[in-house]
Amino acid sequence: MASALGRLARLSALGSVRTARLSPCTGPGGTVTPSRSAVWTSSGAVLPKPKKTPFGLVRIALVVVPFLYVGTLISKNFAALLEEHDIFVPEDDDDDD
């Protein structure tokens, strides 16, 4: 139910930008197939080109690297906490053969 409502909300929000164009099919029945495009507005005007974000990979790296580092620190501290309380402590194997 929630996914259907989400889909309906998405379609109604995109309704002003995307219009359903009907393109004739060249088949024998002469049926019409709907196609969608995000190039025109509902009035038929052509939308401007989307803005390009310069340095996209650099920005991604500037976000990903600090969060990976913070995640690593959290994992390391949580593993130390588990070992301190003797939860999931690796067993010492004495292989002095």
- Asked if 20 and 44 touch (Cβ cutoff 8 Å), the reply is no
Element (H, E) at 3: helix 2-14
Residue 85 confidence (pLDDT): 92
Domain boundaries along the sequence of the chain: 58-91
pLDDT at 5: 57
The pLDDT of residue 54 is 83
pLDDT tens sequence across 43-93: 888 888 888 878 888 899 999 999 999 999 999 999 999 989 989 877 777
Token readout for 65 is 């690297």
pLDDT of the residue at 30: 60
pLDDT reported for residue 10: 59
- Say whether pLDDT at 36 is over 70: no
Q: Is 37 helix (H, G, I), strand (E, B) or coil?
A: strand
What is the arithmetic mean of pLDDT over 33-43? 71
